Amino acid sequence: MKPIILDEKTILGAISLEKIGEHIKPWRIFYEDRDFFTPDLLNGHAEIPAGVRITFETNSTSIRVEFAPSQNEVEFDVVIDHKRIKTVIVQPGDTSFTIEDLRTNHKKIEVYLSQQQQVLLKNVYIDENADWSLHKSTRKKWLTYGSSITQCHAAENPSQTWPAITAKELDLDFICLGYSGQCQYEPMIARTIRDTPVDFISLSAGINIYGGNCYNHRTFQAIIIGFIKIIREKQPTVPIVLSSPIYGTFREDTPNLVGFTLIEMREQVKEIVDIFRTNGDEQIFYVNGLDILSGEYKDLLPDGLHPNAEGYKLMGHNFATAFKPYFKNNEVLSH
């Protein structure tokens, strides 16, 4: 077998790639600035490749993916021409897997990396006599920022997170900046988004701030407004959708330690959008989280907070419906 080239053209969905010996580590921040991402690189979640996928075209009848061993099970999805053909669960200590008996025609292959565990890639091999090429996409690029509900730890598999489902329905290339427990609207994340050219941005606000008791009625709106202003420094006209929390069981009307409820947070998130639009930013929009997953579907929240696999599928479809007015024939529209 022979290797393809692994770089930023074949590893999509990462913010940066670090070369570590013979391995490549995808990051969901600019890894050169990692010391500024406290605490502990977003508690390690910046190093978990949620939404990152190896993407290329080939006529090979087999592929082999090599990577560094892990102490944990690691899950990969193999998707061919947008259809998942296999979920591979790699056991602790394993360093490769092979997919065989593929069609001989030229096809797009995507290998989704785990949204749960760190992955260090080594090589991807195809048949010795096969050809391969870059996948030349004309899709619009979408970046989404959020919490564990965006990282989607409990999704059925790596290609069934809600961002992956939304991207498939709207025919978008996507970057997932969902960091479990870490969606606190830090300025360093705003800088990361600012410095990552995309066509569409979505931001989910509130649930980690509620759980962490981080911002109160004085600071909540101020920190999110500043976050968006940083993005606007380099992306002044890119459409931004700011969404409020999905249904949160007891959190709806139970104040946290700083006196916030999710009901109040939704009101304030909507006000943030109104402030921007009143001041001339016509490219920012609001999505109510209850339109994405409401109390009607509380049975899809087994721990009262995080959706299960079916919940993430519902969210993916509902976000696609919410975002659809901003796209026509893969063009981003102004509203």
The pLDDT, as a whole number, for residue 299 is 98
pLDDT at 329: 62
Q: List, in order of start, the domains of the chain with CATH numbers.
A: 2-133 (2.60.120.260), 140-330 (3.40.50.1110)
CB count within 10 Å of CB 146 equals: 26
For residues 108 and 110, give the distance between their C-alpha atoms in angstroms, rounded to a whole number.
Answer: 7
Structural contact between residues 107 and 78, judged by C-beta atoms closer than 8 angstroms: no
pLDDT of residue 332: 78
3-class DSSP string for 132-197: EECCCCCCEEEEEEECHHHHCCCCCCHHHCHHHHHHHHHCEEEEEEECCCCCCCCHHHHHHHHCCC
CA-atom Rg of the chain in angstroms? 20
What is the C-alpha separation between 296 and 298, in angstroms, rounded? 6
User: pTM for the complete prediction?
Assistant: 0.96
User: Cα separations (Å) of 128 from 46, 196, 239, 320?
Assistant: 35, 36, 45, 40
Whole-angstrom Cα distance, residue 193 to residue 29?
A: 9
Cis peptide before 39 (omega within 30 of 0): yes
Q: What is the dihedral of CA 96, 102, 107, 109, to 10 degrees?
A: -20
Specify the pLDDT at position 326.
Answer: 86
CA 240, distance to chain mean position in Å, is: 15
Phi, psi of 269 (to 5 degrees): -65, -45
Question: CA separation (Å) from 256 to 168, 200, 259, 302?
Answer: 36, 32, 5, 21
> Strand 331-332 and strand 327-328: pairing?
antiparallel
In tens digits, the chain (335 residues) has pLDDT values of 999 999 999 999 999 999 999 999 999 999 999 999 988 889 999 999 999 999 999 999 999 999 999 999 999 999 999 999 999 999 999 999 999 999 999 999 999 999 999 999 999 999 999 999 999 989 999 999 999 999 999 999 999 999 999 999 999 999 999 999 999 999 999 999 999 999 999 999 999 999 999 999 999 999 999 999 999 999 999 999 999 999 999 999 999 999 999 999 999 999 999 999 999 999 999 999 999 999 999 999 999 999 999 999 999 999 999 999 987 666 777 65
**Which tens digits make up the pLDDT trace of 33-70?**
999 998 888 999 999 999 999 999 999 999 999 999 99
